A and B are shown apart, each in its own frame.
Chain A
């Protein structure tokens, strides 16, 4: 079996992945038409490029259907229970930096910490008869973080995109989302809590513990590892 390398299939993240490998003498490129998700690898024997949605890469790694995959540390930690038993983070790639933060309306001048958020959640429930809603797509990370800090009387509502707009649209009171510059938050009249982010995320190369690392795939990995300065046994 060839060594399968999963890379995000589009956008800036894909280009940065290609650049990272290119700078180390391994050329990744898309083949076929612009719309066809097919790729090629030059400069590394026995490696097959698999183009995937970044959000699906954690699952494919967990299943062992790809050997290596590039995705955000946020997605791996959120999508996979006990993530480090399922994958191994081989190397952080130094791009795709973003912080997972909690943001509330900027006009909430009484709120700047998690303590405040907890107190507001209690009052909100008394006044409105429902738990304070936090819109996010990072359910596990946010829930674990709030549980570790003993926050009560909130509920997570799922938002897979345009999360910053949920407060204005009255479908949430606060959000937990990835931000790099905070501009979208400010444009939507939100502010980040004055706390350390839930997670500093960046793109990283992961190895699947469930993948078959014997035979051709194992040989291909050893050659690649020597070239990219990766840990010798992948998992």
Chain B
């Protein structure tokens, strides 16, 4: 395993390449307010980030990534389009004995641009692919936007679509919801007993009206027909789609005949492949998985990518994607399309460096 000095040297080299690509250098505090990260990622982040207490500022976290502070900084006073580069340690608590590191370097590159998202996606991917080429890594790509478009296009209640969209990043719960909405998992016996409960005093903040509203929603859901077997099957096909990019695109075009809602997302994928090809990426061989990026910590909602070493036990050497929705969440009413990624220079050094 390469030592820290080698990782730092590697980080500086990658950082310099990102600056040379036109990025402005930015820094972020190591101590980040926990509340923002908890609101964004949920309680799960507590298991993955070091939480510490500041006597005046309350709970703080050792930064688990740079994306959030960089987006916050851009939303507060950045003008677009903008390109940023950063490097530094991130901290990930390990709850189990594992060779995974709890402290490592990241070097990142982020693009905030309103025009031509395909070009921005291609710019980031091609920059990473070019830089990492000496390591002969395996690239994987995906597009969470296609899955989201497919869900939005289902012919069913908006409440069901919202529930599925909320759990796009939790595959297990997504599958469970899909089974329920598809009528494959019957209502739990407990659900049928709901109305038998006698009157009891209501305690807590949640009001009678909120309970009544949900009961009405449950009745509406019970009365609505299930999501059709064809649509469920199509979503499952989509989730399992894994092929080279041109073959995946052709398959998506076929699916779009029955599920027109994914048409525009397929158009965007085609535009991105063209933009990638124009930057010299061999798209014919580029792997595409529709489920790629669904289990990461990040908030990706469009193009996603990662670069992997041959050893399957190693974490990705680099990863990234598009996170348009995150800028809206952190932008307090404003938003901007954004795409970026990070490299782990420690792993690059372990693999022999960039030559």
Contacts and interface: CB of A to CB of B under 8 A. Distances in A.
A123 B42 contact: no
Interface string A110-128: 1011011011101110011
A107 B173 contact: no
A154 B38 CA distance: 10
A146 interface: yes
A156 interface: yes
A110 B173 contact: no
Contacts of A155: 38, 43
Contacts of B44: 143, 147
A162 interface: no
Interface in B68-97: 95-97
Determine the interface band of chain B, counting residues with CB < 8 A from chain A: 35 or more
Contacts of A227: none
Interface stretch (A16-24, A51-59, A165-173, A214-222): A165-173
Contacts of A151: 173
Interface in B190-242: 190-191, 193-195, 197, 200-206, 210-211, 213-215, 218
A107 B211 contact: yes
Contacts of A170: 204-205
Contacts of A143: 43-44, 46-47
A168 B114 CA distance: 48
Given A110-B214, A146-B43, A150-B167, A118 B203 contact: no
A125 B145 CA distance: 24
Contacts of B193: 112
A189 B167 contact: no
Contacts, number: 111
Interface centre among B43, B95, B202, B210 (most CB of A within 10 A): B43
A182 to B, nearest CB: 14
B332 interface: no
> What's the dominant secondary structure at chain B's contact region?
helix
A149 interface: yes
A146 B174 CA distance: 14
Nearest to B98: A82
Contact of B204 (A110, A123, A154, A167): A167
B173 A154 contact: no
B166 interface: yes
A118 B97 CA distance: 30
Interface residues of A, number: 45
Contacts of B200: 105-107, 189
Contacts of A190: 203
Given A106-B200, A107-B211, A152-B42, A194 B188 contact: yes
Interface centre among B46, B197, B206, B218 (most CB of A within 10 A): B206
A217 to B, nearest CB: 25
Contacts of B215: 109-110
Interface in B151-172: 162-163, 166-167, 170, 172
B203 A127 contact: no
B218 to A, nearest CB: 6
A81 B96 contact: yes
Contacts of B202: 105, 107, 189
Interface of A: 81-82, 85, 105-110, 112-113, 115-116, 118-120, 122-124, 127-128, 131, 139-140, 143-144, 146-147, 149-156, 167-168, 170, 172-173, 188-190, 194
The 7 closest A-B pairs by CB, nearest first: A150-B173, A194-B190, A150-B170, A107-B202, A112-B190, A106-B200, A110-B214
Interface of B: 38-39, 42-44, 46-47, 95-97, 162-163, 166-167, 170, 172-174, 176, 180, 188, 190-191, 193-195, 197, 200-206, 210-211, 213-215, 218
9 contacts: A105-B203, A115-B176, A120-B214, A127-B210, A140-B47, A144-B47, A151-B173, A168-B203, A172-B204
